[in-house]
Amino acid sequence: MLTGTIGFILLLMYRKKLFSEDKTSVTGWFLVFISLFWLRQSSNSLMWTLDYLFSGEKSIRCDEVRIARYLERNIWTIISITGILGFIVLYFIIRMLPKNQVLTFLLAGLVGGISGYYLWLIKFGKYILP
């Protein structure tokens, strides 16, 4: 979250230099990707909630739930707050991008997120970090 926050603050500070009406600079894309470290929080929150809705069980495997339990808070507290903050960061990033790049950005993010999830959590991650 710290990495994403630093990237997002820099993106906000320099957005006028990084984005024009029809293109984004290489530095702009770099800061967008750094800012999107916040998407981990949104993804965890969404997947945890969907898992709960479909299975009825509350997983305690994610860090946010462990932190909430350690702080003696409701297990929904931290995962909900950080998930919402991640979606807010995504919203502002989409608003900053030139209109002609938003669809490409969203499609690339969807394909990249799904393939990254599959490749890391299902296919190769268990061999690299058992």
Residues 84 and 127 in one domain: no
Q: Supply the pLDDT for residue 50.
A: 86
Residues 125 and 77 in one domain: no
In this structure, which amino acid lies at residue 41?
A: Q
The domain tally of the chain equals 2
Q: Supply the pLDDT for residue 79.
A: 87
Q: Supply the pLDDT for residue 114.
A: 85
Q: Supply the pLDDT for residue 85.
A: 94
Q: Supply the pLDDT for residue 6.
A: 95
Q: Supply the pLDDT for residue 22.
A: 80
Q: Supply the pLDDT for residue 64.
A: 83
Residues 30 and 11 in one domain: yes
Residue 24: beta bridge partners? 19
Q: Residue 72: which region, alpha, beta or left (left: phi > 0; alpha: psi -120 to 50)?
A: left
Q: Supply the pLDDT for residue 8.
A: 93
Domain of residue 128 covers 100-130
pTM of the model: 0.80
Tell me the torsion sign for CA atoms 98, 30, 34, 121: positive
Q: What residues in the chain have per-residue pLDDT under 70?
A: none
